[in-house]
Structure 1
Amino acid sequence: MTETPTFKRLERTVNLIARHPFYPGKSEAVHDCLDDLEERYRDGSLTHEQKSVLVSLLTSEDSNSIEPSKAERSLRTHRSS
């Protein structure tokens, strides 16, 4: 059963973290979130299916979840000037 109220709240929170634009420390936040999901799975708070859904959200190939390269940061800086 994937649709418990607690799971839906956790899913919204994970989605916010995953979709948030890059910021220094985001990779650590994602790592901490993955650790928390594993801990919840081990203590029985999440099913394997629920954990898989949440991990998939966090690790999806999204440009917001990847640290921009130095070249991309340079381009962004020049564009905003």
Structure 2
Amino acid sequence: EDAKLSRVSRQRSYYAIRFNGKEYGPCFGDKDLSMKGCFNLEGSCSCQKDDYLDSIIESTIFSVDEYEKLHCFTKEKRLNLTEPVNLLIA
């Protein structure tokens, strides 16, 4: 399967990567890719193009078998991104 690269728009970089309480996260963009706590249950994840330049995936409702968590380090307490964030879905 081909990987897809999408960049967050500069105007919406605040929403690049976020966690929405204990029930949701990680989320990419405001609506672009959201994973609920039980992400492997059918319908627990959603995707709707909003803050990223390209749609991340074609499906709007789906589940995820597994994902890899990568760490982002910053000197700021909150991510303050001045460069575009790349999101690679494989």
TM-score (norm: length of structure 1): 0.27
Higher strand share: 2
Structure of higher CA gyration radius: 1
Which protein, 1 or 2, shows the higher relative CO under an 8 Å CA cutoff with sep ≥ 6?
A: 1
Higher helix share: 1
TM-score (norm: length of structure 2): 0.26
